[in-house]
Structures are given as structure tokens and as C-alpha cells.
A and B are shown apart, each in its own frame.
Chain A
Amino acid sequence: MEFSRRDTLALGLGAAALTVLPFQLSAAATDDAISAFTGGADVGTGGLTLTAPEIAENGNTVPVEVAAPGATSILLLAAGNPTPGVAQFNFGPLAAAQSASTRIRLAGTQDVVAIAKMADGSFVRAAQTVKVTIGGCGG
């Protein structure tokens, strides 16, 4: 039978066509986006929760949730996408909760990165690798 590229992507035996990404470019773009957000300030950890699947069920729509109590803004980046910027969530003083969820498209296995700006002007970072695969055969 003939397989189109799209069909071939869905082959059962782990036929994930891992797009060859310009990861170097993505890495630089991610760093630039973080610098623009933080103004070059130091970035710590803690106080920011990033929830994403370890392995994406569908790389075209991956649910991601960020939460940082007390944050004024959270930047969300897909570090391996050709254009890493996903969203920036800003929370006003009357916001009941500083959390947001969205779905993002991931071009391949990569880190999803979140940076939160806290009320005191400090920054924290959280990241998780999300694997994009169609391979594997469960036992």
C-alpha cells in the first residue's frame, strides 16, 4: 500500500518522523525571549508549577498548565519550536489565582519552559521535557 507522509507518521512500530529542527536557532531564540522578559535578571526556582505530559498523546495539541501564586506574569516557551514563544499570561492585582492552562503544538521532543515574574520583581523558572513520539508497543 502507499503511505502518504502523514500516514507514515502514524505507523505503529514507532514510526515517528522526527522533524530535523534548527535546535541551535531555537535555543538562541529561547534565550533571547527569556532575556527580553527578565531584562537579564537572575532566575531562581521554586514557586512555579509547570504541568505537562511526559510523553505527548498528540504533538499537535499538548495540554500545559502553569501556576505561580503571587506572580504578576508567566512566560511560556516551547524551547524546540522554530518560534519558541507560546504565550505570556499577565495577572492583575484582582486576579483570584495566578494560573493558566493552554494547549500548544510541539514540533518534536523538547523542553517546555515557563518563567514567572513574582510581585517583588524576582523571576523563577520551571521546565519539563515533553517527548513527541508515535513509537512503542505497550506490553
Chain B
Amino acid sequence: MISRRDFLQVSMAASALYGASGFGNWARLGAQQAMTQDKLLDFDTFGNVTLMHITDIHAQMKPIYFREPEVNIGVGSNKGAVPHVTGAEFRKLYGIEDGSPSAYALSHDDFSSLAQSYGRVGGLDRVATVLNSIRADRPDALLLDGGDTWHGSYTCLKTEGQDMVNVMNALKPDAMTFHWEFTLGSDRVAEIVEGLPFAALGQNIFDAEWDEPTDLFPPYQFFERGGVKIAVIGQAFPYMPIANPGWMFPEYSFGIRDERMQEMVDEVRGQGAELVVCLSHNGFDVDKKMAGIVKGIDVILSGHTHDALPEPALVGETIIVASGSNGKFVSRVDLDVRDGRMMGFRHKLIPIFSDVIEPDKEVAALIDEQRAPFASELGEVIGKTDSLLYRRGNFNGSWDDLICDALISEREADIAMSPGVRWGPSILPGQDITREDIYNVTSMTYGKAYRTEMTGEFIHVILEDVADNLFNPDPYYQQGGDMVRIGGMGYRIDVTKKQGERITDMTLLKTGEKIDPSKTYMVAGWASVNEATEGPQIWDVVEDHIRAQGTIKLDPNNSVTVVGV
């Protein structure tokens, strides 16, 4: 008899051989230049349970462009492991042809030209079509939302998340977990969660005062699907009060709490769960580590770090599924659960090519309804760009170069800082920049642009601190963002060193002089977690700058030298 472990591995091998993951099929489609909706959705229904995973939508209801990172460095045991493989190496790893639709969806090279061929991605009306198609195969498929849903656009900011709540409810999720949602403030979060027609889960969401679980966010929910008793355990982003302003949700404490995760897994198994799914906003490397510590999780649906992987990663007997961001992908995972155990899986990362997948009419109308009151503000053209504007990458992206330029010129600063968040769609060369585009990369409930003096020593402390959140070799000490983006200053970073020793050669670009630890510099930035922050909103600063420039043209940014890779 075949052991469970063998079966999983056979299944993985079969994926590679026959394209059971759907991935080999895409590459062939690309070669034939014949993408159709049917081919994108083609899936040989398997087993008795289907999971559908979407995560980190960041309120992108409409199709967008989204360039995946060129630089995504793994450290410690994750050096060279997915998702820390990009570009040509990534394509080689998964057998993706250059220039194919998969290359466009999953890697950064030739992005601007491939975007012209393959068009925009995402759009929740297209996502609805995909979900409906999967539900036609398997009517009781579970839809699980990994969070970062009620944040990231003009309409989401103005309606305090209501637009996304309305549209997501139409997609009928079965459960959700959280991160940026909490930046709406705990009162607003409670107001929405109390009215949700599905489970709001987080085994690691605790009452801060008593350090106990909360009533509003249960740890898990049971589902009966295909005759299988399924437990879905939620895992919210562990470091919310550290990475985001804790004063907006002082009632809550988070943390990884993997010992409680184990207790919950044991508890649901004790209650007869035959399949245990963790709906996680840990980030990929944290999920990998947790999968090695907590025993008994069959599937981790991983969010937060915005990685899109064409095949699940396997840790012990746990599969980890990473489904990208910004509405660009939906993962379908079919499982064969028998005799109380997961015996095998079939998986497909479905790219939402918005020109190929027909929009669902009802959801399209619902999206239009949310946007209609704001149509004139959203569509106003502020300027134009000659350069590709994107954000993802460990050290810089052209969107943040532009934001830092805006901070330096509009706020008369020596040095600018822009947070290393991973959300925000891309804009192609030649495109207009609308107000909506600016909000898509800046909108948040704490967007004020501060201006303050800092010593060179203090700037160094900040860079070291953020670098350790990214390059600490232990994933449990990583927060899942990218490096703070710096304008007006260059530096050298050795990712292999310890905190305090990574950052050297800090240089003020306008003079070429070394940063003096004891000297004071004028620094402008945004997204401070400090409650008393004052200044204009960052989207207004960026809008003023783009208006003044007319057409944006950015030089390549070579101000960060990375070593130890």
C-alpha cells in the first residue's frame, strides 16, 4: 500500500510530468499564443474537496498591471529557495518559456512589452467568473480570503472598506483572516465583522489587556464538504501593532503563537476534523517555519508576502499554497481526503488575464455601483509617465523613487523615506497617471507626510532596524515587508551580517558626501505609526509633484549596493 507521504510525492511528480498542476499547460498555451478562458480554467476535477484561495487583493476591484519583483533575497535556510527565486531562474525552475503568458504573469523581465501583448490582470468581476466556473465543477468548493482585502484604493479609503465588503460578499467567501483591515480602526473593524455573512478567523488575535482569545475572532470554523469534516484555522498577520499603528487597534494583541496553533490543530482533530486547513497571513517563510513546528496541518493557504507560486511547497506532510496579490491570481486546490487523511492533491494557480476571462455581469455592475459616486475624482488625469512605474523589489521600485522625489521637492528635504510595502499596481510607459493610480500606491488611514530632523546616526539605526525585519535569518523575526525606500541617499548593505553591521557607506547624493553620524539632516517621509504625525497627505504631495512635472521620466536607481547575495 502506498503511504501518504509517498502519495503526496507521487502527486508532485505527476504534476511535473503531466501538468496536473496546470502549469505545464500554461507554458504550452503561451507557445501557441492561444489563450482562451476554457484553457485557463481547464482542470481535471480531483478527489472530494476543493479549496479556492485568494489573498492580498488590496482593494483592487478593477483590472490592473502588476509587475512581480526582480529582487527578492532569501537569507538563512531560505537562501535560493522559492519564493526567493526571480526572473530567468524562476522561469527555468518551472519550465516557463520566455515571453509566454506565464512569464508575464510570474516574472519581471520585459514587463512593459509583454504587458502590451497580454493586457491587464485581475478584476473581481473576472475572479467571480473563475469562482463560478470552479463551483460548476464542485458546487460546495470552499472560498477562503487571506486578508488585506479592505485596504488599498481610493474608494476603499473613502468608504472605510465598505466597497470591498459589498463586492466580496457577492463572491461568497466561507472564511477570512486579517491584516490591513485593522488600520480602519478597531471600532470600524468590529462594525464590519459583526455583519459578515462568513467566518472572521484568527487563532492569534488576542485581547491585549488580558492576553486571552477574543469572541469576535474565533480560532477556527468547521465545514462539511464532500462528506469530509474540514477545519479551517485562521492566522492573522502576527506583527500588526509593530508594522502598523497599534494605537488604531489598542484592544488587540497578535503574535505567531505557534504553540496555540498546535493546541487548535489538536483540538479540531479531537473533534473529528479529517482535513485541517490554515488560512494564514503569516508570510511565506514564516508559514514554512510554522509548518515544520506545528504538526497536523494538511494545507496552509499562505498570504502577506504577495508571492505567486505555480506549485505548492511541501514541508513534511503540509502543502503551502501561495496565491499572489492584487487580484492577479486565484488558487484552486483539489484534495482527496479519505479515511480521515489527505491522500493527494491537485493544484492550479489560475492567472486572471482580464482580456481573456469574461467579466461576471452581476459583479461588474456591483463594482461600478461602488465606484460611481467617485467617478470624476478617480478618473482625473494628473500627468503621464514615460517610465514603467512599479513597486515590488527588496530595495526600491520606480513608484517609490517617484514618491521620494515628490517628498524631497515638495517638502524641501535632504532625504526621503517611503515604507517598504508590497502592494500597489504598476503603470506602463506612455500611460496617463490618474488620481486613482496615485491612491492605489499610497492610500492608507495614516498617510500624512512628516518632515523632521534626524541625525546621521539615527538614520543608520532606522535602516538597520528595517533591514533586520527583512534579513534576520530566522523567519519568525521577519515582518514580511521590503526595505524602507530611501531618496536622496545611497548606502551599501551586506545581507549576511547581523543587525547593526549590515548598512555602511551612507552617502548624501546631492553632495556626494558621507553621512555624518553627528550631523542633522532634514528627512521627509510618510506612513508613520506615530499617532501625532502632522503634515499633508502623501497622495496630495505626490499629486502636486506629478502635476508640476507633467510627464514623469525616471533614471535607473543605482543608489543601493547589495552584497552577500
Contact = CB atoms under 8 A, between A and B. Distances in A.
Tell whether A and B belong to one assembly. yes
Interface of A: 1-3, 7-8, 10-18, 51, 53-58, 63, 101, 109, 129, 131, 133-139
Given A54-B477, A58-B241, A138-B179, 12 more contacts: A2-B452, A8-B454, A54-B476, A57-B255, A135-B465, A135-B484, A136-B420, A136-B469, A138-B240, A138-B243, A138-B481, A139-B56
Contacts of A135: 242, 462, 465-466, 468-469, 484
A136 B527 contact: no
Contacts of A7: 530, 532
A134 B446 CA distance: 16
Nearest to A101: B211
A16 B304 CA distance: 23
A13 B419 contact: yes
Nearest to A3: B452
A139 B305 contact: yes
B68 to A, nearest CB: 13
What's the dominant secondary structure at chain A's contact region? Answer: loop
Contacts of B529: 10-12, 134
Contact of B462 (A2, A3, A13, A63): A13
A139 B422 contact: yes
A55 B211 CA distance: 15
B530 A11 contact: yes
B306 to A, nearest CB: 6
Nearest to A10: B530
Interface residues of B, number: 65
B453 to A, nearest CB: 8
B480 A12 contact: no
A10 B466 contact: no
Nearest to A51: B259
Contacts of A11: 450, 452, 462, 525, 528-530
B118 interface: no
Given A7-B532, A58-B246, A138-B421, A12 B527 contact: yes
A131 B241 contact: no
A12 B481 contact: no
A1 B535 contact: yes
B237 interface: yes
A57 to B, nearest CB: 4
B177 interface: no
Interface string B161-186: 00000000000000000011000000
Interface string B473-502: 010110111101000000000000001000
Contact of B530 (A12, A17, A53, A55): A12
B7 interface: no
Contacts, number: 146
Given A3-B452, A54-B255, A16 B461 contact: yes
Contacts of B306: 139
25 contacts: A1-B452, A2-B452, A11-B452, A11-B525, A12-B525, A12-B530, A13-B417, A13-B419, A13-B528, A14-B484, A15-B458, A15-B465, A16-B465, A53-B255, A54-B255, A55-B477, A101-B211, A133-B465, A135-B465, A135-B469, A138-B243, A138-B244, A138-B479, A139-B56, A139-B283
B304 A12 contact: no
A137 B481 contact: yes
Given A14-B484, A137-B484, A138-B243, A131 B477 contact: yes
Given A1-B452, A13-B525, A57-B254, A137 B535 contact: no
A1 B255 contact: no
Contacts of B531: 10
A54 B256 contact: yes
Contacts of A63: 211
A136 B243 contact: yes
Contacts of B256: 53-54
A52 to B, nearest CB: 9
A19 B452 CA distance: 20
Contacts of B474: 54
Contacts of B499: 109
A55 B528 contact: no
B451 interface: yes
B423 interface: yes
A53 to B, nearest CB: 5
B461 A17 contact: yes
9 tightest A-B CB contacts, nearest first: A138-B243, A139-B422, A12-B528, A137-B419, A135-B465, A136-B469, A14-B466, A136-B479, A12-B529
Contacts of A17: 458, 461
B242 A134 contact: yes
A12 B461 contact: no
A110 B203 CA distance: 27
B22 interface: no
B462 A14 contact: yes
B245 interface: yes
Interface in B531-545: 531-535
A134 B179 CA distance: 17
